[in-house]
């Protein structure tokens, strides 16, 4: 299998629309295995949720 850059992986994940295709169909179209696609998707979802949590933190003015 071809190695994908971080930017290419991100583009693949952000281009996925679950309303149009299944994960298997989309992964096949992108030339990756379903398991690799699911792994990248899970990492993306974890990073997005972690970023949202960090951005929601507030600090008191006394800090």
In the predicted model, what is the mean pLDDT of residues 4-18?
Answer: 95
Least confident range of 5-14, 31-40, 48-57: 48-57
Q: In whole angstroms, give the CA distance from residue 3 to residue 1.
A: 7
CA distance between the termini of the chain:
50
The pLDDT > 70 percentage for the chain reads 84
pLDDT at 13: 96
pLDDT tens sequence across 23-43: 999 999 999 999 999 999 999
Name which of 19, 37, 39 is nearest 27 in CA terms.
37
Residue 47 corresponds to which tokens in the numbers above?
Answer: 């990073």
Specify the length of the chain in residues: 63
Q: In whole angstroms, give the CA distance from residue 42 to residue 45.
A: 5
pLDDT tens sequence across 41-52: 999 999 887 777
């Amino acid at each position: 299998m071809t190695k994908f850059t971080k930017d290419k992986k991100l583009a693949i994940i952000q281009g996925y629309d679950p309303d149009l295709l299944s994960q298997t169909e989309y992964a096949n179209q992108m030339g990756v295995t379903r398991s690799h696609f699911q792994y990248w998707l899970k990492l993306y979802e974890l990073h997005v949720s972690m970023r949202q949590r960090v951005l929601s933190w507030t600090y008191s003015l006394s800090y």
